Amino acid sequence: SKETSLKYLSQTIDLAKKSPPKSTNFRVGCVIVSFSSVNPAGTILSTGYTLELPGNTHAEQCALTKLADNFAITEPEIFTLLPSEAHTTLYTSLEPCNLRLSGNLPCVQRIIATRHNDSGIQKVVFGAKEPSTFVKDSQSCKALTEAGIEWEYLPDLEEEILKVAMEGHDKKDVEAEQQQKQQQGGIQPR
Ligand SMILES: Nc1nc(=O)c(N)c(NC[C@H](O)[C@H](O)[C@H](O)COP(=O)(O)O)[nH]1
Ligand SMILES: [Zn+2]
């Protein structure tokens, strides 16, 4: 339900707030949740936030690496943990990347790599589109759809998500993003 999604999205914001501000990426939080008929409220399988693990790591990347580590398996084997009947959803405060200026493997590819027949991550829910600071016109949703993965953009918490994401960026970038959102009728004027 939407309340459930907003509950997990607000948890991704709390996680993003743990990320050290940097002007060269966004502060993002991620929660991987398994839903089953016996547990419709969901069970959190893993969490992550930007730079949580050593190196230039993304929130979704950290959540996936930690999931594999917690079960002492490799990332390509994650599908064994995510059977199709456990409808696994990845919540991320910011739209997952499909291109990284660093050239590192994008998170959309890491999410797609969890798929094996019907096992793996079935759905991605995010609370804000990627700002055009680094990558313009993100193709992430197209890539997810082409891989048969559902995605949902819930903009209810977008203003707070972007404020947290762009902490550490200089003011003009943040204001440019706010202008753009207002033009799109997203964020109401402060
Ligand atoms: N969804 C998402 N989760 C993150 O944890 C994160 N940091 C970004 N950020 C997206 C942004 O496009 C990239 O941070 C830049 O493209 C720079 O690329 P690197 O991060 O240095 O690989 N996006
Ligand atoms: Zn990423």
Q: Is the CB of 19 under 6 A from ligand 1?
A: no
Q: Which phi and psi (to 5°) does residue 26 adopt?
A: -110, 155
Cα–Cα separations (whole angstroms), residue 143 to 28, 44, 95, 120, 162: 20, 25, 12, 16, 23
Task: Summarize the confidence of residues 14-29 as an average pLDDT.
Answer: 96
What does the mean pLDDT of the chain come to?
A: 94
Q: Ligand 1 centre and the CA of 62: distance in Å?
A: 12
Question: DSSP readout, 104-160?
Answer: PPPHHHHHHTT-BTTBSEEEEEESSPPPTTTSSS--HHHHHHHTT-EEEE-GGGHHH
ipTM at complex level: 0.99
**Residues 151 and 123: beta-carbon distance below 8 Å:** yes
Ligand approaching nearest to the C-alpha of 90: 1
Among 11, 38, 42, which Cα is nearest to 161's? 11
Q: Is the CB of 94 under 6 A from ligand 1?
A: yes
Whole-number pLDDT of residue 186: 52
Q: Ligand 1 centre and the CA of 99: distance in Å?
A: 8
Atom 20 (ligand 1): residue with closest C-alpha? 25
Locate the ligand 1 atom nearest the alpha carbon of residue 62 and give its number.
Answer: 5
**Residues 189 and 175: beta-carbon distance below 8 Å:** no
pLDDT in tens, 91-141: 999 999 999 999 999 999 999 999 999 999 999 999 999 999 999 999 999
Q: Is the CB of 56 under 6 A from ligand 1?
A: yes
Task: Summarize the confidence of residues 141-159 as an average pLDDT.
Answer: 97
Q: Is the CB of 98 under 6 A from ligand 1?
A: no
pTM of the predicted structure, to 2 decimals = 0.94
Whole-number pLDDT of residue 188: 53
Q: Could you tell me the two tokens for 75?
A: 């990332």
Locate the ligand 1 atom nearest the alpha carbon of residue 135 and give its number.
Answer: 12
Ligand approaching nearest to the C-alpha of 51: 1
